[in-house]
């Protein structure tokens, strides 16, 4: 089955800085890579996704990049704000999640 | 309607009880999923239903029994659970059981087994 590894497990940044979270996957047939944000006590919510025919996708302050050759993809958050503080999960095909990254944005 | 509705939101049950979790969506999604999430852990896939048929069972113990009565409903029947089964149970749905669609998650049922 698919294995998804996610790093780092925790990330603390100052407000306004950028944050980068990386995931690697094992199944070369995977072709869909979503990112979810989960705030404490709430459901995971899709924030951005990328398909294998695209190398990069951007939505305002959030971007995702994909390197299919190396089998890794990354979430980039620019100009971080305190409300970005949450746990972020990557996932690959068949929606097996990475272990999660707890992002803390300090005001 | 763009939501997945789960009931109940909270459930406390004894180890000899039988209970059911319910999930409903009216987005026309033909794939539905059950996940289990323990504290500070990622959601863990349990079951996948595609067109009302069970397509994936991630070696889940038989004390968890899924059911998909129709394309809008998904149930999870619980019997003889253990305290370690206490967790947040999340239901999700997607347009098709394929490789290229994100999920919509319900708010979850927080289950406590005593």
Q: Judge whether A30 and A2 are in contact, CB under 8 Å.
A: yes
Cα→Cα distances A27→A89, B40, B48, B80, Å: 18, 25, 19, 36
Q: What is the pLDDT of residues B80-91, one digit of tens each?
A: 999 999 999 999
Chain B residues with beta carbon closer than 8 angstroms to that of A32: 99-101
Output the pLDDT for position B80: 95
Min mean pLDDT across A8-12, A47-51, B109-113 is at A47-51
Output the pLDDT for position B98: 56
Q: What is the pLDDT of residues A38-62, one digit of tens each?
A: 999 899 999 999 988 889 999 999 9
Neighbouring residues of A77: CB distance < 8 A, sequence distance ≥ 6: A18, A19, A20, A61, A62, A84, A103
Query: Out of A43, A93, A95, whose CB is closest to B107?
Result: A43
What count of other Cβ atoms lies within 10 Å of the Cβ of residue A29?
A: 9
Q: Judge whether A46 and B103 are in contact, CB under 8 Å.
A: yes
How many angstroms separate the CA of residue B50 from the nearest CA in chain A?
12
Min mean pLDDT across A9-13, B39-43, B76-80, B97-101 is at B97-101
CB atoms A89 and B43 under 8 Å: yes
Tokens 């394929």 belong to B98
Which carries the bigger pLDDT value, residue B102 or residue A68? A68
Output the pLDDT for position A99: 95
Chain B residues with beta carbon closer than 8 angstroms to that of A51: 100
Reading the block at residue A79, the tokens are 């100009």
Q: Judge whether B31 and B97 are in contact, CB under 8 Å.
A: yes
Q: What is the pLDDT of residues B54-97, one digit of tens each?
A: 998 989 999 999 999 999 999 999 999 999 999 999 999 988 75
Report the percentage of chain A scoring pLDDT > 90: 81
């Amino acid at each position: 089955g698919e294995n998804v590894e996610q790093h780092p497990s925790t990330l603390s940044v100052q407000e306004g800085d950028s944050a980068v979270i990386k995931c690697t996957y094992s199944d070369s047939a995977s072709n869909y890579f979503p990112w979810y944000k989960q705030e404490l006590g709430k459901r995971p919510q899709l924030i951005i996704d990328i398909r294998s025919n695209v190398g990069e996708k951007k939505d305002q302050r959030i971007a995702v990049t994909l390197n299919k050759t190396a089998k890794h993809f990354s979430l980039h958050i620019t100009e971080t704000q305190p409300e970005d503080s949450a746990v972020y999960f990557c996932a690959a095909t068949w929606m097996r999640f990475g272990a999660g990254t707890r992002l803390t944005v300090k005001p | 309607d763009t939501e997945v509705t789960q009931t109940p939101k909270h459930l406390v049950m004894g180890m000899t009880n039988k209970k059911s979790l319910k999930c409903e969506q009216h987005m026309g999604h033909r794939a539905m999923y059950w996940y289990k999430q323990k504290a500070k852990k990622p959601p863990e896939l349990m079951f996948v239903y595609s067109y009302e048929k069970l397509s994936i069972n991630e070696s889940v113990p038989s004390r968890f029994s899924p059911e998909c009565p129709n394309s809008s409903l998904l149930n999870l029947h619980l019997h003889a659970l253990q305290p370690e089964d206490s967790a947040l149970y999340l239901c999700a749905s997607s347009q098709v059981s394929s490789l290229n669609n994100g999920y919509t998650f319900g708010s979850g049922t927080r289950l406590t087994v005593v």
